[in-house]
Structure formats: structure tokens, C-alpha cells
Amino acid sequence: MNTITDTEFSRFQRFIYDAAGITMSPAKKALVCGRLSKRLQAHRLNSFGDYFELLSSGRAADEVQTAVDLLTTNETYFFREPKHFELLRSLAAAAAGRPQPFRVWSAASSSGEECYSIAMVLADCLGDASWDVVGSDISRRVLQRARTGHYPAERTRHIPTPYLKRFCLRGTGEQEGTLLVDRRLRQRVSFAQVNLNAELPRLGTFDVIFLRNVMIYFNGDTKRQVVARVLSLLKPGGHFCIGHSESLNDISTAVQQLAPSIYRKP
């Protein structure tokens, strides 16, 4: 495997910051080396410097997206941080019977587990009423995986048993050891590629927004800008959930804290 010099690594630190607003610490040097080495081989390049020149040439837009996909960390699982789903259940139950659709945005949806967890709760509470879930991520690779709704069975251990039976199909034969989210539920979830560090596309407004375990990758200024953009799409009275290790102290005064990691827009 090729080795990456400090100078080359600093270029990729700047690359991912410019592309996605992500601040990559020196501890990620081995990760960059490991994840990008195969791209050097694919293009028959001798060094990470040569690969960076390819990305900077303006002739390789698809390769730039591939590099962004490889350098963005995507870790998630079903029903992560259960208190947020208890809140979602209570909010959805309170919205039952209202004419307006109940809308939830998973703003860093990764491979889709968070979106489908949200959708299971909404389907349980609101049934065939008007509701929808939007998932977004900067990585095309994980969004393609998310749209399939197909996961290794071991990744689904946090799904409540009644939901497993109601909303999921266990694989048999060649698909044994996997699980597929039911098509009717998948159809209620849409996915879009969104860079939170740039002007947001027109997604509409939302009753609840999940932006969990994302801010840890941003510096202070970027956190403030990203949170301001995201909160601009939260309805008055809407709720905002972040990761338990995160805080909005010195980041935003647009929402009021109700509990650790849970906020409400006045």
C-alpha cells in the first residue's frame, strides 16, 4: 500500500474541508491512506500527490464524488438513542388527525437506518395518514445503499420485535442472514444528496429534524452555519434532535433546550 506524506495529507484535509466542511484531525492519516489507496491503483498512479492532482484537475467530477464518499465516515444503526424515538412517538401521536402532513428530516441519514426507524414509528402512530420522511447525506454511495433498505441481520438487533415482524422481511436462501425493509415502508421515505455546508435545496419544512452525531466533524464556525441552515427548515414549534455527545452552546439561540440533545423552536 502506498504511504501518504504529511504534505499530501494536509492537501486532503483541505480537500474534505472545502468539499464538506469536515475538519479531519491528524489521527485520520491512516484512514485516508487506507481508504484512498485503491483509487491510486484504479488510476495507476504512483502517489497520493498524483491522485490529488487528478481531483484538482477539473476533469474528474465523478472521482471527486468518489473521494468524498470514501472520506466521509458513516456509522449508524436502527433506533439509536431511544429517547429521541420516544419523543417522536409522542409528537406523532399528538399530530394524529390533523390535516397537514407530519414531516421528519434525517439530515445526515448515512445508510438509511435512522430514516427507516423514523418511518416505523410514524407508520405505527399515523398509519396511512399524511406523513413522510426525507433522508439526506453528502455521500452518493451510502444513499444508494439506503434506498435498497437491505441490511445484514446483525445490524437490526435494536429494532423492536413487533416492528421486525410488521415492517421487515427476513431473507431466505441466498439472502439468508439479511433483512429487507418492507416495500410499503420504503415508499414513504425519500433520499436526496445534500451538502449541509452549502445552500440547501428546496426540501420544504419539517416538524422534526434529526441532525445527530454530525457536528463533531465540524469546527465552530461551520457548526454555526450548518445548524442555521438546517434550522431554517424547522417549523415553529418543531423539534430538533442532536447527538448525546453534542451541544448547541455557543452554536445557536434559535431553539430552546427541552432535555439533553432535544430542542424546540419557539
Burial class (CB in 10 A: 0-12, 13-18, 19+), 256: exposed
Residue 1 lies in a domain: no
Which CATH number is 20's domain given?
1.10.155.10
C-alpha cell at 21: 466542511
Please identify which of the residues 80, 137, 186, 207 carries the catalytic annotation.
137
Cβ-contact 81, 113 below 8 angstroms: no
Per-residue pLDDT of 238-262, as tens digits, reads 999 999 989 999 999 999 999 999 9
Does residue 143 sit in the same domain as residue 65?
no
Cβ-contact 95, 183 below 8 angstroms: no
pLDDT at 130: 95
Active site residue 137: yes
Asked if the model's pLDDT at residue 46 lies above 70, the reply is yes
Active site residue 221: no
Cβ-contact 212, 108 below 8 angstroms: yes
Please identify which of the residues 11, 35, 141, 188 carries the catalytic annotation.
35
Cα–Cα distance for residue pair 255/236, rounded to 1 Å: 9
Give residue 151's domain range.
82-264
Per-residue pLDDT of 151-199, as tens digits, reads 999 988 899 999 999 999 999 999 999 999 999 999 999 999 999 999 9
Per-residue pLDDT of 105-127, as tens digits, reads 999 999 999 999 999 999 999 99
Does residue 48 sit in the same domain as residue 99?
no
